[in-house]
Amino acid sequence: MSKHRDLGLTDHEYELIVSGLGREPNDVELAMLSLMWSEHCAYKHSKKLLGRLPTDGPHVLVGPGENAGAVDVGNGQAVAFKVESHNHPSAVEPFQGAATGVGGILRDVFAVGARPIAVLDSLRFGEVAESERSRYLLEHAVAGIGHYGNSIGVPTVGGEIYFESSYEQNCLVNAMCVGLAPHARLTSSAAVGLGNVLILLGALTGRDGIGGASVLASAELSGADESKRPTVQIGDPFAEKKVMECCLELLDSELLASLQDLGAAGLTSAASEMASKGEVGLDIDVASVPLREPDMEPFEIMVSESQERMLCVVEPEKVAAVLEVCERWEVLATPIGQVTDTGQFRILKHGEQVGELPVPLLVDECPLYDLAPEPPTAPSFAAPPAVVAPDADARSQLLALLGSANLASRRAVFEQYDPIVQSRTVRRPEQADAAVLALPGAGSGFGHGTSGIAISIDGNGRRVAVDPRAGAAEAVYECAANLACVGAEPLGLTNCLNFGNPEKPHVAWQLEQAVQGLADACEQLGVPVIGGNVSLYNESPDGPILPTPVVGMVGAVEDVHHVGRLGFGSAGDAIALVGEFEPRRDGSELAKLSGEAPVGTLPVRDVAATRKAHESVRAGIRSGALCSAHDIAEGGIAVALAEAAIAGGIGASVSLPVDPFGEDLGSGFIVSGPERAVLGLAGARLLGHVGGNELVIDGLLSVSVDQLASAHSAGLGIN
């Protein structure tokens, strides 16, 4: 009676399964159902909320429901992208957890027919200055990301890292991939065609990963994590490179009817979702599945999460051609089943049935739960230790901020990644607020035209903890602001919702409010959500993580020869503040350094003014009127000025009309250029001019650019 509970199913869910089957499931069926009805696969605590997000837009080609969404970027080209989490596996084994997180998101993108052209990552760890465990997780997760991306030949072009004590036991590793495809190559994962053949491509199936991502991501981590180490998958980027090239050639040759990657829940998830989308049945014979380990049980074969595998549907007359292409790429390809009209998912072994489940029961009939949200009656986050004295002067505060782990240079991290492989990268980390990639020229797959895309990924758990709705909206505004700084117009958005246990009322309230905030901001900016991921149960006995919705956004660049840069340019250029910037210190980085918990209120936003500021900066960059543009983010306007001075290697002298360290993410910009140009932007306020070798803020501080750069470069403490 307790077997279903051991697999994560409640008594009520088990009763629904028995009712749906008209009998009790056998061991194979129960294992498959337990994974498909897990939080990770069924989204049973979040699916209703996700319906609030806007998904339609003029550029959308593929929306939510496929492996990745896609938008039109002109010239017959599409850009596909998605962000996903690999949090709990990375907390157990950071190198392989992060590496296979990258491998999984790459497969999502080439499963829709797009060649991966960029990776970004969003990472959260405990306080590395205080915790050896967090430093270990950081260093090994970064190494895993670099290992997989560098080996497969996909550039890592951007990302973000933040450190808070709440992530000590539950680090976050969110990976985003962007891919490029001609419209004609975009494909669906829906299984079609009675009698068509199911072919398994790629690596051998082993016991590694059994009950891995799908189980680890559907329950809180306990203190006995060592026992879960074998469930983390092992990645092989060189094998995935061959699988990727093979799949893209098969699609170009029009040999596949549909294609799906194998991720969490392995064959069970991939095959049942294909059958559900195509409204068909499937037969799979586990005796045909090539194994890495002998004597694997049928349930093990069906739920294995071994990496670098894809499942495709092929018309019988094309099977020989598919196998020939696979042999040329040295990719193992094995027919393992066929499409049927039964609506049943049958599992066979040497032709003998060992399991049979209705496809709708597996995929569509998991109960969806209503949350019971209640705002917390008291702050649920402890104050961190203070590292800046309450009476510290502005100069000391600025240097402390620049040297803090959350704001310090990430050079020691991103130098471990190859940002320029494939020769598309126009702006890489610390050159601009968003990565910029060139696209192929019109009518040619060779060389580059003048158009491009910009990509950014953002989130701030402290701000969301202060106000989940406004903080989540800020992540959207900030992502769009980053794109504006390089002259890009948003085309679409993907998100990853990282939260604690949704069965707890205050976590449910955070999740509901944050989703509404994302929906509000996307509606206001006209940016559709084309896909994403939900990661819940990010908790330990010490409590939940900070609520952390992460947003990834792709925008269109008209001319890659006219994109913004972060650093100040020439002496004498005017510096202006653009936007209705209304900063507060609640939830800010200075508040953290001062020992304050993430509590308070966030600024009330004038959305029309925010959108107008974004449009104005975007136009200034596209016209070439501005020499630099940088959004004001964590640390406030003083940190933004310091970062622009460091990046440009030149000082500035300014007077500030606002709190130098207050924050209002996504609403304000620091721009520089000829005075007439900067003051021609909507609502621009002149602050001062570029020049000298110091950052001088009138009446507050004077610091040399060398001192700023020294503080900024040493804060992360990674060699």
The residues annotated with a catalytic role in the active site are 40, 86
**Would you say 429 and 419 are in contact if contact means Cβ atoms under 8 Å apart?**
yes
Cα 282 from Cα 341, distance rounded (Å): 8
Cα 560 from Cα 454, distance rounded (Å): 10
The 8-class DSSP code of residue 367 comes to P
Instruction: Report the SS3 class of residue 22.
Output: coil
> How far does Cα 557 stand from its chain's mean position?
21
Cα dihedral sign for 31, 33, 34, 40?
A: positive
Cα 422 from Cα 676, distance rounded (Å): 39
What values do phi and psi take at 42, rounded to 5? -95, -15
Q: DSSP letters along 573-639, please?
A: -EEEEES----B-TT-HHHHHTT--S-S-PPPP-HHHHHHHHHHHHHHHHHT--SEEEE--TTHHHH
Instruction: Report the SS3 class of residue 177.
Output: strand
> How far does Cα 590 stand from its chain's mean position?
27
Identity at 163, one-letter amino acid code: F
Contacts of 72 (CB under 8 A, 6+ apart): 59, 60, 61, 78, 183, 491
Sheet holding 628-631, edge to edge: 628-631, 669-673, 574-578, 685-690, 652-654, 694-697, 701-704
**Would you say 506 and 377 are in contact if contact means Cβ atoms under 8 Å apart?**
no
Cα 4 from Cα 218, distance rounded (Å): 14
Tokens representing 258? 């549909």
Cα 42 from Cα 366, distance rounded (Å): 7
Torsion region of 253: left, alpha or beta (phi above 0 gives left; psi -120 to 50 gives alpha): alpha
**β-bridge pairing 435-438 and 452-458:** antiparallel
Contacts of 58 (CB under 8 A, 6+ apart): none
**Would you say 242 and 152 are in contact if contact means Cβ atoms under 8 Å apart?**
no
Cα 533 from Cα 60, distance rounded (Å): 18
Instruction: Report the SS3 class of residue 534.
Output: strand
What values do phi and psi take at 227, rounded to 5? -65, -20
Per DSSP, helices labelled H in 66-210 are 87-92, 94-110, 132-152
Q: Which of 477, 665, 475 is nearest to 588 (CA)?
A: 665
**Would you say 146 and 414 are in contact if contact means Cβ atoms under 8 Å apart?**
no
**Would you say 427 and 483 are in contact if contact means Cβ atoms under 8 Å apart?**
no
Cα 509 from Cα 598, distance rounded (Å): 16
Cα 167 from Cα 368, distance rounded (Å): 28
Per DSSP, helices labelled H in 179-318 are 213-216, 237-252, 266-278, 298-303
**Would you say 562 and 629 are in contact if contact means Cβ atoms under 8 Å apart?**
no
**Would you say 645 and 558 are in contact if contact means Cβ atoms under 8 Å apart?**
no
Cα 563 from Cα 630, distance rounded (Å): 12
Cα 640 from Cα 654, distance rounded (Å): 12
Cα 20 from Cα 37, distance rounded (Å): 13
Q: Which of 3, 23, 8 is nearest to 361 (CA)?
A: 23
